[in-house]
Amino acid sequence: MKLTIKHDDFQRAFLTAATVAPTRSPREILQNVKIQAEENQLVLTATDGEVGVRLVVPDVQVQIPGSALIPVSRLSMILRETSDEELRIEASPERTLILGRFSRFELQSQNPDEFPVVKDFSSDEAYEITADDFRELIKRTIFAADTESSRFALGGVLLEFENDRVTAVGTDGRRLAKMEKPIKVIGQPLGNDSSTIVPSRSMQLMERIMGDGEIPIHLIPQGNHLLMKFPQGVFYTTLVEGRFPKWRDVIPRRPESTKIDIPVGPTYAAVRQAAVVVNDESRGIDFSFSDGTLVLTSSVQQIGQSRIEMPVSYAGAGLTISLDNRFIADFLKVLPPEKTFTLDVESPDQAAHCKTDDNYDYIVMPMSRDQPR
């Protein structure tokens, strides 16, 4: 194999592929990225056995087609340290040369034919969503998933495809985040109705590699995998096995409950201030509503107390609910600070329902106000 490639194009693609390759693995071969030179392009593939990525770099000067395996750690350092605009790569079965204008690196190489095959996206039928919308789905739900739970299904984000929308849901059993976005259905990927549980790590990787803006992202569940096609290539992940909770039963429907419009930015600031005196054993903050006012208070023995007051549009009877400061902060920091959300509460002992005007719901269970402070 022999080729010439622009340094920045190669670095961008290689470092993207490197996010998938494991830093340590019983299968040493997986700590490499496979590069394959073909007609005026370079294809990079990486996998850890559970997830994989296939990236295409166009406009490459390929003198001799072929393939090679390159260690992720070594080539990452080479690409960071070299400043040449172009690099030449020459590979034989025993070694790979990376050549700059005044530099020469020789790396030992393994047999590229032994590298696992990374799935390609060959179907014309898929669910289409913009990169910005898919990123928003991930950002607003992934934090609520439970990666440490013995209930394996909670370690991922549920994606439900139905008609012209996709719903993403994350939950750890104490809180639940759910968001909807419009999609375009191309053909019949799975009868227009399908659901999958995507591992949290896979969702994080997809968010990092798929790009920005209104570019189209194509998704298709395929057996126990989910494939994502984006402009630079294809990503696939093994799905989480198990039964996801019946999340629709969790969302309250309380027409007679109290609904309060609350500003995001000031509330986030108030929560952070009130949380100054909380600790791991006592994380509850009391949210007390009275006429035109929200007061946030926390109290922990041997630490102290905090009291933060802010105006809100509330005119009902006094109402207090105790919530975990981390859970509320997680919700608020994924929202634009200039926006408002609606807090739906019925009593101190029932779940608080936070809702925005862009199809986002967040449900959090209250904490007992009888706990030691």
The domains of the chain, with CATH numbers, are 2-114 (3.10.150.10), 126-248 (3.10.150.10), 252-364 (3.10.150.10)
3-state helix, strand, coil in the chain (%, to 5): 20, 45, 35
- Helices H / strands E in the chain, number of each: 6, 26
Across the range 301-330, mean pLDDT stands at 92
- Kindly report the CA angle at 121 between 117 and 126, in degrees rounded to 5? 150
pLDDT tops 90 at residue 285:
yes
- Per-residue confidence at 273, pLDDT binned at 50, 70, 90? very high
Residue 137 pLDDT greater than 90, yes or no: yes
Say if residue 132's pLDDT is above 50.
yes
For the record, the structure tokens of 232 come out as 């630079």
Asked if residue 126 has pLDDT above 80, the reply is yes
Are 119 and 134 in contact by the 8 Å Cβ rule? The answer is no
Contact between 33 and 75 under an 8 Å Cβ cutoff? The reply is yes
Q: How far apart are CA 95 and CA 70, in angstroms?
A: 9
Which pLDDT belongs to residue 179? 98
d(CA 329, CA 298): 15
pTM of the model: 0.89
Longest dimension (CA), the chain: 78
Record the tokens describing residue 60, joined without a space.
Answer: 């490459």
206-220 pLDDT per residue, tens: 999 988 889 999 999
For position 281, what pLDDT does the model report? Answer: 72
Element housing 217 (H / E): strand 216-222
Sign of the dihedral defined by the CA atoms of residues 202, 204, 208, 214, in that order? positive
What is the DSSP secondary structure assignment for residue 152, as one 8-state letter? G
Structure tokens, 127: 């669910």
d(CA 322, CA 283): 9
| Helix 131-139 vs helix 200-209: crossing angle, to nearest 10 | 140
Say yes or no to pLDDT of 70 above 80.
Answer: yes
Q: Is the pLDDT of residue 151 over 80?
A: no
Q: Is the pLDDT of residue 242 over 90?
A: no
